[in-house]
A and B are shown apart, each in its own frame.
Chain A
Amino acid sequence: MRARQTATVFARELASYFATPVAYVLIIIFLAASSAFTFYVGGFFQRGQADLASFFMFHPWLYLFLVPAVAMRLWAEERRAGTIELITTLPVGSFPLVLGKFLAAWAFCGIALLLTFPIWVTVNWLGSPDNGVIAMGYLGSWLVAGCFLALGSCMSAVTRNQVVAFVLGAALCFLFLMSGVDLVLAAFRSWAPGFLVDLVASFSLITHFTALSKGTLPLTTAIFILTLIGTALFVNKLLVDLKKAG
């Protein structure tokens, strides 16, 4: 029953992405920007290597803006339009709703990612890359998008305003992305004990993503990403429930 409800929400949500031009705009921007970064900034040709490192390298940064834009409508729009009253009064717990919406947004990101296949074709045509590494790169990229989506979905549940949801989501994603960078760590080092600094550093999605784009999936990374998504979705459910009481 819960699985069917989750699937129903998933299908409705995914269809609604493509019912508006927003989905197409986001996909086109993602494709154009990822190509531009790969060739002009990443120096795809100059590197003279048959891999997609210069392609994946910029994904977390693109996601920083695009993924919160995908996630911002998930709950804020339901709240604004009042349809949240329609779905939350159906005989369904809030977790199938949260999960269904998240999976739909994640599938949407997956579709956008799959549409970058020409670059994979290109690199295979130009040389003979390690397609296993490329597959891991795609998986890693998709997982990072999933982390950002879960965070963005959470922020979408706190407001009825999509712009606020976007800004909060982007800020939160930025924190997770940058937590391994000295700039952020320095702010902690001055007062926090060593283990806390290490903890914050281990939250860094960049660090985890780098491992993935090299073709490895360390256990810590897998656990970290699944925990992050799971925790964010759980908080998301709490936020949805809390609004009923608040």
Chain B
Amino acid sequence: MEQAVRLDQLSRRFGRFTAVDRMSFGVRQGEVVGFLGPNGAGKSTTMRMLAGFLTPTSGHAWIMGHDVEAQPLEARRAIGYLPEGAPLYGDMTPLALLRFVAAMRGMSSAQTRENIATAIERTDLAEVAYKPIETLSKGFKRRVGLAAAILHDPPVLILDEPTDGLDPNQKHEVRALIADMAADKAIIVSTHILEEVTAVCTRAIVIARGKLIADATPAQFQAYSEWHDAVALRLLPQQIETAIEALSDIPSIYEVKRMNHAADGHDLLVVPIQGERIASTVADRLLEAGVEIQDFRVETGRLDDVFRKLTTTQH
């Protein structure tokens, strides 16, 4: 089996509600897949099925070739899983918790010592190793959860919102850690922070209402980012040509696109060269040319715009 993680028509229903609807994709070793979607899209449910916490209603999933339902223990041995919110035993110290996980995973004492040392070093936990977990900050707790997940150096890592609630520095550290481990592992990271995708992922999967709706590389997603700071215009129909003419020789403009008025209410989209701000230039030039501007909208968002379009327009 070439793919480290494979999902085939994986579905999960809760009563009448379908949380995950026929999800199929694969992840190879060396890939870091960003799992994106609005809250309630089914990200956690999918990850819980992969980790063996929930059983699928229908469909299959394989971890390193082991079916998560038929060979649950083999599949779980190959997985490092960080549940959403990183739940931990508050009364234990990070060291005691890691020892507990090591024993449950059947490590020998030499292995335990070595792996715990590595995990503590990688997640930078040495200073809090002997403090009860309940007294630690959110960032440290998340790192303890991460240390527990990577303790056995698994080929597959499933991390449910590893950076949620962390401050920017902590986020950076966690991302660096993920990037560091990426080479020889298959990693799935769920997030609703889009910058994370460009920061660590080699691929992004967008899901909404339990369905997979996009699967592309960050570069492909960034192709949409031309929308950033683009200006959408609503004009009088007879003045559209005049406007295109007036905007034709501005160097900071990449292109002027016609938009489908019926869909969006705008006629033209003026796309800047990346990084340029063109709003006032466009406005000045159109007024000079005597074009009446009925509506003028500066597009924000890069990935989030893509994300929103992907996750809200589908049915």
Contact = CB atoms under 8 A, between A and B. Distances in A.
Interface of A: 1, 4-5, 8-9, 12, 15-16, 19-20, 81-83, 85-93, 244-245
A86 B88 CA distance: 7
Contacts of A4: 103, 106
B83 A12 contact: no
A1 B74 CA distance: 14
A182 B52 CA distance: 48
21 contacts: A1-B106, A5-B104, A12-B100, A15-B91, A16-B92, A20-B91, A81-B89, A81-B90, A82-B84, A83-B87, A83-B88, A85-B87, A89-B53, A91-B74, A91-B76, A91-B77, A91-B105, A91-B106, A244-B53, A244-B54, A245-B55
Contacts of A20: 91
A89 B89 contact: no
A74 to B, nearest CB: 13
B101 A90 contact: yes
Of B85, B89, B148, chain A has the most CB atoms within 10 Å of the CB of: B89
Contact of A16 (B74, B81, B91): B91
B87 A86 contact: yes
Given A4-B103, A89-B81, 8 more contacts: A20-B91, A82-B87, A83-B87, A85-B51, A86-B89, A89-B53, A91-B74, A91-B77
Contacts of B48: 85
Nearest to B145: A86
Interface string B102-123: 0111100000000000000000
A92 B101 CA distance: 11
A19 B77 CA distance: 30
B104 A90 contact: yes
Contact of A8 (B55, B90, B103): B103
Interface residues of B, number: 28
Contacts of A8: 100, 103-104
A89 B52 contact: yes
B87 A81 contact: yes
Nearest to B56: A245
Main DSSP-derived SS at the A contact region:
helix
B104 A92 contact: yes
Contacts of B91: 15-16, 19-20
Interface of B: 48, 51-55, 73-74, 76-77, 79, 81, 83-85, 87-92, 100-101, 103-106, 148
Given A16-B89, A19-B91, A83-B89, A88 B104 contact: no
B89 A92 contact: no
A6 to B, nearest CB: 10
A91 to B, nearest CB: 4
Nearest to A93: B73
Given A83-B87, A91-B77, A244 B106 contact: no
Nearest to A16: B91
Nearest to B132: A19
A98 to B, nearest CB: 14
Contacts of A19: 91
A66 to B, nearest CB: 21
Contacts of A16: 89, 91-92
B55 A82 contact: no
Contacts of A90: 76, 101, 104-105
A13 to B, nearest CB: 10
B99 to A, nearest CB: 9
A89 B105 contact: no
Nearest to A18: B91
A88 B87 CA distance: 12
Contacts of A89: 51-53, 76, 79, 81, 83
Nearest to A77: B89
A93 B77 CA distance: 12
B73 A92 contact: yes
Contacts of B92: 12, 16
Contact of A91 (B73, B88, B148): B73
A82 B85 contact: yes
